[in-house]
Amino acid sequence: MSAESDERGKVAQVATGAPAAGDVEHYPNGEERPLGSRAPAFVKARRTLHMGWQAGVFLIGLAVVVVGVLMLVLPGPGWLVIFAGMAIWATEFVWAQLVLRWTKRKVTEAAQRALDPRVRRRNMILTAVGLVIAGALIAVYVWKFGLAMPWRVAV
């Protein structure tokens, strides 16, 4: 029954141009922004112009995402650039808007979990244990090999 009503909502959205129930994004002041293209009205009014607009947005977003993926292995803020490319895509494509909405929700949930006192205490304990293990490994290295560096330093 739910899938059927979802389909009816989508059909109603296509027929009326209004968003179906649940297809809205909230502004910080409480207003709702529907999913869909944010192209100017004169672009949306002409199908060929709108298709060209979407192709341009897709190519620009793709270029930004590819640069972000390259920055994952090269120096640079890779994930930030990838999300910027997704934001460019989200100006035109509903699927990108839904991906960004899901990502924002997951980041917010992770931030809330990180603020939980039990989780913070666990993370501090794990960090302390990791530092003790790293210190022990460094101490064993220094005891076994001394403070000699593995490369020659000309003084």
Q: CB–CB of 35/25 below 8 Å?
A: yes
Per-residue pLDDT reduced to its tens digit, 123-152: 899 999 999 999 999 999 888 888 776 677
* Residues 134, 73 within the same domain: no
* Residues 38, 65 within the same domain: yes
Per-residue pLDDT reduced to its tens digit, 77-119: 888 999 899 989 988 888 888 888 888 899 899 888 888 888 8
Mean pLDDT within 19-38: 60
As to burial, measured by CB atoms within 10 angstroms (0-12 exposed, 13-18 middle, 19+ buried), residue 7 is: exposed
* Residues 17, 80 within the same domain: yes
* Residues 130, 100 within the same domain: no
Q: Which of 98, 67, 72 is nearest to 84 (CA)?
A: 67
* Residues 79, 109 within the same domain: yes
- The model carries a pTM of 0.53
State how far Cα 87 lies from the chain centre.
Answer: 9
- Containing structural domain, residue 45: 2-117
* Residues 72, 12 within the same domain: yes
* Residues 132, 89 within the same domain: no
Count of the separate structural domains present in the chain: 2
Q: CB–CB of 28/45 below 8 Å?
A: no
